[in-house]
Structure 1
Amino acid sequence: MQNYFSIQLLRVVKSSLWLTSKKIPRTMRLFILFLICSMSFVHATDSFAQKVEISIDAQNQTVEKVLKEIEKQSGFGFFFNNKHVNLKRVVSVSVDKSNIFKVLDKIFEGTDVKYSVLDKKIILSTEMTSEQQQAVKISGKVVDVNGEPVIGASIVEKGTTNGTVTNLQGDFSLSVSSDKAVIEISYIGYQPQELKVIAGKPLNVTMKEDAQALEEVVVVGYGSQKKVNVIGSIAAVDSKKLESRTAPSVSNMLTGQLSGVTITQSSGNPGQDQGTIRVRGVGSFGATPDPLVLVDGLPGSLNDLNPADIESISILKDASSAAIYGSRAANGVVLVKTKGGQKGKVTVSYNGYVGFNQATELPEMCDSWEYAELYNKAMGKEVYSAEEIQKYKDGSDPYNYPNEHYLDKLLGNKGLQTGHELTVNGGNDKTQYMVSFGYVKQNGLMEHNHYDRYNGRVNLTTELAKNLTLTTRLGGVVSKRSEPSTPGGMDSAGFKAFSSNALRFPGLWATKLEDGSYGLGPKVLGTPLAWLDSGSFYDENFDKFRSNVELAFTPVKGLTLKAIGGYNYTGQQIRHYRSAMEITGGKKLGPSSLSDTMYKTVYKTFQALADYNVKFSKNDLSVLVGYTWEDESQRTVGGSRLNFPSDEVPYLNAGGADGQTNSGGGYDWAIMSVFGRLTYNYDQRYLFETTMRYDGSSRFPTDNKFGFFPSVAVGWRLSEEQFFKEAESLSFIDNLKLKASYGILGNNNIGNYPYQSTYALGKAMNYVFGGVYTQGAAVTTYVDPTLKWEKTRTTDVGIETAFWNNKLTFNAAYFYRKTTDILYKPSASYSSIFGLGLSQVNTGSLENKGWEFEIGHQNKIGEFSYHVNGNFSIIKNKVISLGVGDVEQKSGMIGNGSDLFLGYPMNMFYGYKTDGVFLTDDEVKEWHDQSKIAPNSKAGDLRYVDISGDGKVDESDKTYLGSKIPQYTFGLGLGAEYKGFDFNILLQGVAKVKGQLTNYAGYAFFQEGNIQKWQAEETWTNNQSNRYPKYPRLEVMSNAGSNNTLGSDFWILDASYLKVRNIQLGYTLPKRITQKFGSSNLRFYISLDNPFSISGYRKGWDPEINTDGSYYPILSTYTFGLTLKF
Structure 2
Amino acid sequence: MNKKFIRVLGLGVGLFLAGSLSVNAQKVSFNGERLSLKQAFEKIESVSKYKIAYNTSQLDVNKQVVLNQKNQDVLQILSDLLKGTNCVYQVNDNYIVITLKDDEKVKKIKGTIKDSAGEPIIGANVILKGDATVGSITDIDGNFDLSVPSNATLQVSYIGYNTQDVPVGNKSFLNITLKEDTETLDEVVVVGYGSQKKVNVIGSIASVDSKALESRAVPDVSNMLTGQMSGVTITQESGNPGQDAGTIRIRGVGSFGATPSPLVLVDGLPGSLSDLTPADIDNISVLKDASSAAIYGSRAANGVILVTTKKGKEGKARIIYNGSVGMSQATELPELAHSYEYAEFYNKAIGTETYTPEMIQKYRDGSDPDNYADEMYLDDLLGGHALQTKHELSVSGGTEKVQYMVSLGYLRQNGLLDNNYYNRYNARVNLGAELAKNLKLQVRLSGMTSDRHEPSTPGSLDIGGFKGIISNAVRFPGLTPTYLQNGEVGLGPKLQGTPVAWVDCASSYREDYDKFKNNIELSYQPIDGLTLKILGGYNYTLSHVRHYRCDMILTGDKSTGPSTLSDEMKRTVYKTFQAVADYNKSFGKHNLAALVGYTWEDEGQRTLSGSRNNFPSDDVPFLGAGGADGQTNGGGGYDWAIQSVFGRLTYNYDQRYLFETTMRYDGSSRFPTDSKYGFFPSLAAGWRISEEQFWKENENLSFINNLKLKASYGILGNNNIGNYPYQSVYSLGQEQNYVFGGVYTQGAAVTTYVDPGLKWERTRTTDVGIETAFFNNKLTFNASYFYRKTTDVLYKPAASYSSIFGLSVSQVNTGELENKGWEFEIGHQNTIGKFHYHINGNFSIIDNKVLTLGMGNVTQNNGMVGNGSDLFIGYPMQMFYGYKTDGVFLTDDEVGDWYDQTAIAKGSKAGDIRYVDITGDGKVTPDDKTFLGSRIPKYTFGLNFGGEYKGFDFSVLLQGVAKVKGMLSVYAGHAFYQEGNIQKWQMENCWNVQQDNRYPEYPRLEIMSNAGSNNTLTSDFWVLDASFLKVRNVQLGYTLPEHIVKKFGSTGMRFYVSLDNPLTFKGYRKGWDPENTSNNGQYYPTMSTYTLGLTLKF
Q: Which amino acid aligns with 2:239?
A: G
1:599-631 per-residue CA deviation (whole Å, 9 max, x = no partner) reads 111111100000000001101100000000111
User: How many residues are matched?
Assistant: 958
Aligned to 2:44: none
User: What is the CA distance between 1:884 and its match in structure 2?
Assistant: 4.2
Q: Does 1:647 align with 2:647?
A: no
Mark the CA change 1:194 to 1:984 in structure 2 (over 3 Å): closer, same or farther: closer
* Counterpart secondary structure, 1:738: strand
Q: Does 1:795 align with 2:766?
A: yes
Matches within 5 A, 1:669-680: 669-680=640-651
Q: 2:714 aligns with which of 738, 743, 756?
A: 743
Q: Which amino acid aligns with 1:1112?
A: Y
Contact 1:619 1:681 in 2 (8 A): yes
Q: Does 1:964 align with 2:945?
A: no
Q: Which amino acid aligns with 2:275?
A: D
* Counterpart secondary structure, 2:992: helix
Q: 2:1007 aligns with which of 1017, 1036, 1039?
A: 1036
User: What is the CA distance between 1:194 and its match in structure 2?
Assistant: 7.1
RMSD over aligned CA atoms reads 3.0
Q: Which amino acid aligns with 2:570?
A: Y
User: What is the CA distance between 1:764 and its match in structure 2?
Assistant: 3.6
Q: Does 1:321 align with 2:302?
A: no
Aligned to 2:954: 983
Q: 1:576 aligns with which of 544, 547, 554?
A: 547
CA distance in 1, matches of 2:550, 2:840: 53
Q: Does 1:223 align with 2:204?
A: no
* Counterpart secondary structure, 1:369: helix
Matches within 5 A, 1:797-836: 797-836=768-807
Aligned to 1:116: none
Contact 2:421 2:454 in 1 (8 A): yes
Q: Which amino acid aligns with 1:906?
A: M
1:683-727 per-residue CA deviation (whole Å, 9 max, x = no partner) reads 010000000000111111101111110000000001100010000
Q: Which amino acid aligns with 1:786?
A: G
Aligned to 2:1089: 1117
Matches within 5 A, 1:639-788: 639-767=610-738, 775-788=746-759
Mark the CA change 1:665 to 1:201 in structure 2 (over 3 Å): closer, same or farther: farther
Contact 2:159 2:778 in 1 (8 A): no
Contact 2:834 2:950 in 1 (8 A): yes
CA distance in 1, matches of 2:390, 2:856: 55
1:4-46 per-residue CA deviation (whole Å, 9 max, x = no partner) reads xxxxxxxxxxxxxxxxxxxxxxxxxxxxxxxxxxxxxxxxxxx
CA distance in 2, matches of 1:301, 1:839: 30
* Counterpart secondary structure, 2:655: coil
1:540-563 per-residue CA deviation (whole Å, 9 max, x = no partner) reads 111000111100000000000000
CA distance in 2, matches of 1:214, 1:739: 17
* Counterpart secondary structure, 2:469: helix
Q: Does 1:520 align with 2:491?
A: yes
User: What is the CA distance between 1:897 and its match in structure 2?
Assistant: 11
Contact 2:126 2:157 in 1 (8 A): no
Mark the CA change 1:172 to 1:185 in structure 2 (over 3 Å): closer, same or farther: farther
Aligned to 1:362: 333
Q: Does 1:880 align with 2:856?
A: no
CA distance in 1, matches of 2:906, 2:956: 53
User: What is the CA distance between 1:961 and its match in structure 2?
Assistant: 0.3
* Counterpart secondary structure, 2:409: strand
* Counterpart secondary structure, 1:877: strand
CA distance in 2, matches of 1:598, 1:866: 51
* Counterpart secondary structure, 1:555: strand
Q: 1:556 aligns with which of 502, 519, 527?
A: 527
Aligned to 1:473: 444
Contact 1:144 1:150 in 2 (8 A): no
Q: Which amino acid aligns with 1:250?
A: V
Q: 1:282 aligns with which of 226, 248, 253?
A: 253
Contact 1:519 1:526 in 2 (8 A): yes
Aligned to 1:149: 130
User: What is the CA distance between 1:594 and its match in structure 2?
Assistant: 0.5
Mark the CA change 1:605 to 1:197 in structure 2 (over 3 Å): closer, same or farther: farther
Matches within 5 A, 1:187-336: 191=162, 193=164, 216-336=187-307
CA distance in 1, matches of 2:638, 2:157: 54
Contact 1:145 1:863 in 2 (8 A): no
Contact 2:218 2:224 in 1 (8 A): yes
Percent same amino acid at aligned positions? Answer: 72
Mark the CA change 1:728 to 1:203 in structure 2 (over 3 Å): closer, same or farther: closer
* Counterpart secondary structure, 2:1077: coil
Q: 2:964 aligns with which of 993, 1004, 1009?
A: 993
Contact 1:139 1:202 in 2 (8 A): no
* Counterpart secondary structure, 2:872: coil
CA distance in 2, matches of 1:647, 1:672: 49
Contact 1:282 1:877 in 2 (8 A): yes
CA distance in 2, matches of 1:209, 1:461: 33
CA distance in 2, matches of 1:902, 1:514: 60
CA distance in 2, matches of 1:200, 1:466: 48
Aligned to 2:478: 507
* Counterpart secondary structure, 1:522: coil
1:336-362 per-residue CA deviation (whole Å, 9 max, x = no partner) reads 000011000100000000011000010
Contact 1:237 1:312 in 2 (8 A): yes
Aligned to 2:1064: 1093
CA distance in 2, matches of 1:413, 1:209: 55
User: What is the CA distance between 1:962 and its match in structure 2?
Assistant: 0.1
Aligned to 1:386: 357
User: What is the CA distance between 1:840 and its match in structure 2?
Assistant: 1.1
Contact 1:140 1:205 in 2 (8 A): no
User: What is the CA distance between 1:939 and its match in structure 2?
Assistant: 0.8
Contact 2:903 2:925 in 1 (8 A): yes
CA distance in 1, matches of 2:182, 2:127: 16
Q: Structure 2: which 5+ runs fail to align?
A: 1-102, 107-123, 133-148
User: What is the CA distance between 1:1058 and its match in structure 2?
Assistant: 0.5
Q: 2:467 aligns with which of 492, 496, 515?
A: 496
Mark the CA change 1:925 to 1:215 in structure 2 (over 3 Å): closer, same or farther: farther
* Counterpart secondary structure, 1:875: strand
Aligned to 2:23: none
User: What is the CA distance between 1:837 and its match in structure 2?
Assistant: 1.5
* Counterpart secondary structure, 1:554: strand
Mark the CA change 1:811 to 1:1040 in structure 2 (over 3 Å): closer, same or farther: same
Contact 1:283 1:819 in 2 (8 A): yes
User: What is the CA distance between 1:493 and its match in structure 2?
Assistant: 3.6
Mark the CA change 1:230 to 1:616 in structure 2 (over 3 Å): closer, same or farther: same
Contact 2:252 2:819 in 1 (8 A): yes
CA distance in 1, matches of 2:402, 2:152: 29
Mark the CA change 1:943 to 1:208 in structure 2 (over 3 Å): closer, same or farther: farther
Q: Which amino acid aligns with 1:533?
A: D
Q: Which amino acid aligns with 2:187?
A: E
1:358-409 per-residue CA deviation (whole Å, 9 max, x = no partner) reads 0001000111111000000000000000001011112222222121111001
Mark the CA change 1:787 to 1:665 in structure 2 (over 3 Å): closer, same or farther: same
Mark the CA change 1:139 to 1:549 in structure 2 (over 3 Å): closer, same or farther: farther
CA distance in 2, matches of 1:885, 1:996: 26
Mark the CA change 1:599 to 1:426 in structure 2 (over 3 Å): closer, same or farther: same
Mark the CA change 1:208 to 1:1082 in structure 2 (over 3 Å): closer, same or farther: farther
CA distance in 2, matches of 1:378, 1:184: 76
Matches within 5 A, 1:46-61: none
User: What is the CA distance between 1:887 and its match in structure 2?
Assistant: 2.5
* Counterpart secondary structure, 1:495: helix
Mark the CA change 1:354 to 1:785 in structure 2 (over 3 Å): closer, same or farther: same
